[in-house]
């Protein structure tokens, strides 16, 4: 089946630093999504990308849909303690089914 490779697996950074994570796939996706999950909660959508090459921002977050439609990255600028959590990329192929990456655990030192 379709799989997403998400990296890095975890990050431990200093408050104020920028963060970058990415996902790659052997399959083409029509939509790329980035979710954040806090401990004990469900994932919350951060950014949705619909077109190859699209670059979208949401506050301090920026994400891009790769030209080949097989990859995406998420950047967080000037990290703050509440950025702590697990970040998942997800690709949507046919229908509304999502394939999730394994997640990136982000920890922030203040």
* Interface with another protein (CB under 8 A), residue from 41, 59, 82, 110: 41
Radius of gyration of the chain (CA): 13
96 binding another protein? (CB under 8 A)? yes
H/E segment holding residue 84: none
* Interface with another protein (CB under 8 A), residue from 11, 65, 101, 104: 101
* Shortest spacing between CB 55 and another protein, in angstroms: 18
CB closer to another protein out of 20 and 92 = 92
Query: Tokens for 16?
Result: 């104020």
33 binding another protein? (CB under 8 A)? yes
Cis-peptide into 8, omega within 30 deg: yes
State the Cα–Cα distance between residues 69 and 108, nearest whole angstrom.
Answer: 31
Q: Which stretch binds another protein (CB under 8 A): 14-22, 54-62, 66-74, 100-108?
A: 100-108
Tell me phi and psi for residue 82, to 5 degrees: -75, 0
* Interface with another protein (CB under 8 A), residue from 20, 30, 56, 62: 30
Report the Cα–Cα distance between both ends of the chain, in Å, rounded. 40
CB closer to another protein out of 46 and 76 = 46
């Amino acid at each position: 089946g379709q799989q997403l490779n998400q990296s890095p697996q975890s990050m431990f950074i200093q408050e104020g630093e920028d963060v970058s994570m990415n996902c790659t796939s052997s399959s083409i996706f029509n939509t790329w999504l980035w979710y954040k999950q806090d401990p004990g909660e469900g994932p919350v959508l951060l950014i949705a990308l619909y077109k190859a090459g699209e670059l979208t921002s949401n506050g301090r977050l920026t994400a891009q849909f790769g030209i080949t439609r097989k990859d995406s990255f998420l950047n967080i600028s000037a990290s703050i303690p509440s950025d702590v959590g697990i970040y998942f990329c997800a690709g949507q192929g046919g229908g509304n089914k999502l394939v999730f990456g394994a997640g990136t655990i982000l920890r922030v030192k203040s």
